[in-house]
Amino acid sequence: MGHRYHGRMTQALASECERRVVAIDGPVASGKTAVGRALAQRLGWRLFDTGIMYRAATWKAQRHAVHLDEHETVTDLIGASDFQLVPCPDRNSTELEVHVDGENATPHLRESAVESGVPTVAAIAEVRRLMVRIQQQQAAQGCMIVVGRDIGTVVLPDAPVKIFLEASEEVRARRRAAEQHNGDDEQAVLVATRRRDARDRGRETSPLIAAADAVVLDTSNLTLEESIDEAERIVRRQMPELAEPGRAIPPARG
């Protein structure tokens, strides 16, 4: 299992990037990916949504018709697979693609079968250990926004900036239902959201919790743009070297 990365940093040399990493955690539909993507664009960094690793692992297991509850079999398959992270070919994109054994898994990661299976695969302790090693190697390059559910606590416990995005269950279910466009009503999505929260927060390995030194940002009553501004304010406050001449840091909300 390996990774490769040939990305081009737009604002900083590699030597300047080593300690420039932001960890963003939070439950499903709290806005992690959207906020992380916007931050990466504003800073000229890369976005690494670690969820793509677990989605790719799920897709791989399903392609091989492995029952996801057969943890040892899933782990053996994932351990024998080669996961490569490469920049998106769109030069305007900050994101990474994941290739598994030479095949681009990225177009398949939002398929409904993968969506339903990924919580099971992500809860397998040995799979998480395999993925964490890749995530740490990737993030070590710096100038990166790293998004997930255990980044500040397990993957990057020494990250200089940690943000934990939160929102009420009802707000997150509303957002999720709007994203999916598949006819699911909000109540059904709310039930699924609560189920996912329980699995993420209750798993034995790397449960979803805010790191003790994370800044908790509740986005329940914020627009996406307001959430992005708040997150950027946190990053620039904690990394004053990123302050841009003449650029006002968005003020904290009351």
Instruction: Give the integer Cα–Cα distance in Å for 147 and 51.
Output: 8
Number of domains in the chain: 1
Show Cβ contacts of residue 111 under 8 Å, excluding neighbours closer than 6 positions: 59
Tell me, yes or no, whether 14 lies in a domain: no
Residue 157 lies in a domain: yes
Q: What percent of the chain has pLDDT over 90?
A: 70
Report the alpha-carbon distance of residue 144 to residue 9 in Å, rounded: 10
Over its C-alpha atoms, the chain yields an Rg (Å, rounded) of 18
Task: Give domain status of residue 131, yes or no.
Answer: yes
Classify residue 8: in a domain, yes or no: no
CATH (domain of 209): 3.40.50.300
In a domain, 6, yes or no: no
Per the domain annotation, does 254 fall within a domain? no
* Each residue's pLDDT tens digit, 55-109: 999 999 999 999 999 999 999 999 999 999 999 998 889 999 999 999 999 999 9
Does residue 133 fall inside a structural domain? yes
Widest distance between CA atoms in the chain: 56
List pLDDT tens digits, range 178-220. 877 655 688 888 998 899 889 889 888 888 999 999 999 999 9
Residue 46 pLDDT greater than 50, yes or no: yes
Only one residue has tokens 């989605």, namely: 55
Reply yes or no on whether the pLDDT at 130 is more than 60. Answer: yes
User: Containing domain of residue 187, as a range?
Assistant: 20-238
In a domain, residue 249? The reply is: no
pLDDT digits (tens, 9 = 90+) for 149-172: 999 999 999 999 999 999 999 999
- Checking if the pLDDT of 224 tops 80, the result is yes
